[in-house]
Chains A and B, each alone.
Chain A
Amino acid sequence: KAGVTQTPRYLIKTRGQQVTLSCSPISGHRSVSWYQQTPGQGLQFLFEYFSETQRNKGNFPGRFSGRQFSNSRSEMNVSTLELGDSALYLCASSLTVSVQRAGANVLTFGAGSRLTVL
């Protein structure tokens, strides 16, 4: 069973540019979440999508956006890049959005997309 696939794995951008990152969840998983990981701030929740709808959103500026397609694949976009956006962006997928069903909501993370902003 294939895991969570994130592309690209590495990318370099300059300030002011925009970037789009892609995430293919595990087959059958309908929930996709995005996290930003930096040495200073650690792992921070960006947003979550379920059935093409944004269900939860973290405390990030509007420059950070995302979407989910009907096949559950997700993309996130960061516009007007800043130096501080340099980070590892992690995507995670799960069956549902809730832990109501024991074991149904294990988050499986991809290896991440490492973004460097120069």
Chain B
Amino acid sequence: QQQVKQSPQSLIVQKGGISIINCAYENTAFDYFPWYQQFPGKGPALLIAIRPDVSEKKEGRFTISFNKSAKQFSLHIMDSQPGDSATYFCAATPTGTASKLTFGTGTRLQVTL
């Protein structure tokens, strides 16, 4: 049973554009939502994370928007750059088991010139 649904599967954005990746979860016990970035040949790296007590968190060009009532959260990459081309995974976990992440299926982002 997939508990975190991620879309789109792939995304092509022009340089300078906004990349938006969406995730939805089912398990109401989830209360920690990180996003990971993975480049080919590398392991995933934490990009940004949010807890449900805030609706938005911004770090540089990356913003997470969180809608607790809809059980949805999204990643926005502003001013997308070719170096952002990677696979992005949303994830979720309950507090106290933060290493047991449930991942989304991933979004392959390509930023073109």
Contacts and interface: CB of A to CB of B under 8 A. Distances in A.
Interface of A: 4, 31, 33, 35, 42-45, 48, 55-56, 58, 90, 92, 94, 97-100, 105-112
Pairs A-B, 9 closest by C-beta atoms: A109-B43, A43-B103, A99-B98, A33-B99, A105-B98, A56-B100, A48-B99, A42-B105, A99-B32
A31 B98 CA distance: 11
Interface stretch (B14-22, B60-68, B78-86, B89-97): B89-97
Interface of B: 32, 34, 36, 41-46, 51, 89, 91, 93, 95-106
Nearest to A103: B49
Contacts of A99: 32, 51, 93, 95-96, 98
Contacts, number: 69
**Secondary structure of the B side of the interface?**
loop
Given A98-B95, A100-B95, A92 B43 contact: yes
Q: Which of A31, A44, A107 has the most CB of B within 10 A?
A: A107
A43 B43 contact: no
**Secondary structure of the A side of the interface?**
strand
Contacts of B96: 97-100
Given A92-B99, A99-B98, 8 more contacts: A4-B43, A42-B103, A45-B100, A48-B99, A56-B100, A99-B95, A99-B96, A109-B43
Given A42-B104, A43-B89, A56 B43 contact: no
A90 B97 contact: no
B66 to A, nearest CB: 15
24 contacts: A33-B99, A33-B100, A42-B89, A42-B103, A42-B106, A43-B89, A44-B103, A48-B99, A56-B99, A92-B99, A99-B51, A99-B93, A99-B95, A99-B96, A99-B98, A105-B98, A107-B99, A108-B46, A109-B36, A109-B43, A109-B44, A109-B45, A110-B43, A111-B41
